[in-house]
Amino acid sequence: METLYMKLSEENIAPNVILSGDPWRVEVLKKYLSNPKKVGFFREFNTYTGSYQGVPVTVTSTGIGAPSAAIAMEELYQAGMKVAVRMGTIMTLDSEMLGDFIIPSACMRGESTSSTYVENSYPAVADFALVNCMNEAVTSFNANYHNGITCSMDGFYSKMHESRLSKALDFDIMATFEKLKSYHALGVDMESSCILTLGNLMGIRSCVLTVATVSENLNEKLQSTERAAAEDLLCRVALQGIYIQEGRNKK
């Protein structure tokens, strides 16, 4: 039986799943899969299943924000997902981290979707073994990574980037960043805490692999060619991390 929105089934989904916010980043990652088969592109969900160095992998998109990410997690879980890796970009709170990987050990649940599943005291924590596989994958490409705490939020223009409306409403977005810095948070995104919370509730292994492409309030950012290169590397690292964890599971 196919799932409601993504049209998934146990026959077309691999146990290892990589979730990308951007549907078009899925097209970049697909190039590194062997025999990628298109499952479908419905709404914001662009899905392929193939293999990487013999390991079955599904890659799909979730769009922007926690609500659609939760739909993807639910439907992939229904179709048999065992490992979930969020692969995306993050707004760093330290401009010196631009271009580096941020692989959180846990996330602050600043978004609201995960609270519809479980009380706010439930932590959004990554699978540490899977995090270590991603760390190793980053190192294998001679890139830099940082582990620590990040925060996920719902409002991009109300919490993460000043807009005409946020200024008219006198929102102090920079104060939010300063508070997060006092907590030693590394960055901010919109999906990670929801994905980790649901991953733990589902009893599957989950982690987050992000690359820092912009700094707070978009004060600094990778330029177009740098960003394209960073996102291409992001795809390769995610696949290599999946491959590493599969090898360790077989030992």
> What is the per-residue pLDDT across 200-219, written as a single tens digit (0 to 9) for each?
999 999 999 999 999 999 99
**CB environment 123-157: b (16+ within 10 A), e (fewer):** ebbbbeebbbbbbbbbeeeebebbbebbbbbbbbe
Parallel/antiparallel/unpaired status of strands 101-102 and 205-215: antiparallel
Query: Which candidate, 195, 162, 196, 194, places its Cα nearest to that of 176?
Result: 162
For residue range 161-178, list pLDDT tens digits in order: 999 999 999 999 999 999
pLDDT at 250 over 80: no
| Domain locations in the chain as residue ranges | 16-249
What residue has token string 């600094």? 220
pLDDT of 251 reads: 62
Whether the CB-CB separation of 41 and 107 falls below 8 Å is answered with no
E strands, 93-237, are 101-102, 106-110, 124-125, 145-146, 149-153, 185-189, 205-215
* Alpha-carbon dihedral sign for residues 7, 201, 112, 213: negative
Residues in CB range of 16: below 8 A, 6 or more apart: 55, 56, 57, 58, 82, 83, 85, 242, 246
DSSP 219: S
- Fold annotation for 16-249: Rossmann fold (3.40.50)
Residue-wise pLDDT for 56-94, tens only, equals: 999 999 999 999 999 999 999 999 999 999 999 999 999
What pLDDT is attached to residue 48?
98
Which residues are within 8 A (CB) of 184 and not within 5 positions of it... i.e. 6 or more apart? 148, 149
**Cβ contact 72:118 at 8 Å:** no
Percent of the chain, pLDDT > 70? 100
DSSP 8-state code for residue 221: B
Using pLDDT thresholds of 50, 70 and 90, give the confidence band for residue 247: confident
In the predicted model, what is the mean pLDDT of the chain? 97
Q: How many other β-carbons are positioned within 10 Å of the β-carbon of residue 28? A: 17
Task: Report the helix count and the strand count for the chain, using DSSP H and E.
Answer: 7, 12
Give the residue-averaged pLDDT of 90-117.
98
Q: Per-residue pLDDT averaged across 140-145, rounded?
A: 98
The whole-number pLDDT of residue 1 equals 85
Query: Does pTM top 0.75 for this prediction?
Result: yes
As a whole number, mean pLDDT of residues 121-146 equals 98
